[in-house]
């Protein structure tokens, strides 16, 4: 969060387009309830590995809480950020996760907000979070821009 706050200050000065994306794994509670928390933890780790291999080296990525993750995607326009987050979503979803005898297909819902749409990181995160809930309400496993 400290790195993202510093990046926001840089972006406000340069005027480059940047975005916050929040995503979570759809129906993750069902994974924990059905397969246990050890498999749930492995799903989270596998998700993080897939996201890390799909993002650019200078994108900021971290776990936000539970099965929720956050991305700070800088120096990108609106069309490209949608395409970029869609690639990340498909990196998570397109290949089943296999752990011993368990084979799971996981999906993710994304909410994206422009850093320039608010005065501080908390407000941008709030906008991205609202877009995430819109994605969930519209059927999940999609990217929605606020």
Catalytic residues, which ones?
67
C-alpha–C-alpha distance, residues 76 and 140, integer Å: 24
Please say whether the beta carbons of 70 and 22 come within 8 A: yes
């Amino acid at each position: 969060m400290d790195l993202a706050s510093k990046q926001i200050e840089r972006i406000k000065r340069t005027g480059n387009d940047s975005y916050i994306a929040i995503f979570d794994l759809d129906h993750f509670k069902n994974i924990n309830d059905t397969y246990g928390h050890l498999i749930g933890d492995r799903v989270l780790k596998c998700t993080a590995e897939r996201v890390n291999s799909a993002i650019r080296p200078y994108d900021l990525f971290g776990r936000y809480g539970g099965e929720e993750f956050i991305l700070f995607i800088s120096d990108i326009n609106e069309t490209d950020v949608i395409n970029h987050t869609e690639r990340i979503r498909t990196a998570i979803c397109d290949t089943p996760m296999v752990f011993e005898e368990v084979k799971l297909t996981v999906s993710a819902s994304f909410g994206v907000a422009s850093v320039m749409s608010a005065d501080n990181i908390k407000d941008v995160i709030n906008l991205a979070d609202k877009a995430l809930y819109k994605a969930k309400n519209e059927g999940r496993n999609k990217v929605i821009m606020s």
